[in-house]
Amino acid sequence: MQSRTRIFLTVLATAIGGCCLQLYVTLSKDVLFNGIQFCTSSNQDLVLGTVAMFLSATFAGFISSLIVVRDNFWPHFFISLFIIGKLSVAALCAPWGGPLWFEIGLHSSLLAGLWLGWYSAEKFPLAPV
């Protein structure tokens, strides 16, 4: 693969993966569970919402990995930096209604789901090589 094509696919996969992650997390967190907050949500909503966010991140990681044709992990690295940056800004500005450990757990599940999506796309038998 040429260098320009590889860079283009990396940028495209980062943009599409980031948008998919944001869309699916918003759908699972805010639409399906009406906003997950530690203080106001039930335990069942917290568990199901966190699992839904994890699955959303897994799906976004899978899509990103298929766009870059399985030989490139840079989109996942950049999206991971975005997630860590979002957590850092949230930790400094404190715009949530729960403890910091809960937000760290949510963002850790996003990171784990993103990289699980990368790994599952690597092992997916129908993915292009």
Domain count, the chain: 1
**Range in 24-38, 45-59, 88-102 with the lowest mean pLDDT:** 88-102
Range of the domain at 40: 3-123
Residue 14: strand, helix, or coil: helix
Q: What local confidence, expressed as pLDDT, does residue 127 receive?
A: 58
Residue 128 lies in a domain: no
Q: How long a stretch of residues is the chain?
A: 129
Residue 79 lies in a domain: yes
**Residue 66 banded pLDDT, cuts 50, 70, 90:** confident
Q: Alpha-carbon distance 59 to 110, whole Å?
A: 11
Residue 112 lies in a domain: yes
Residue 129 lies in a domain: no
- Exposed/middle/buried for residue 75 (C-beta within 10 Å: 0-12, 13-18, 19+): buried
Q: What local confidence, expressed as pLDDT, does residue 96 receive?
A: 66
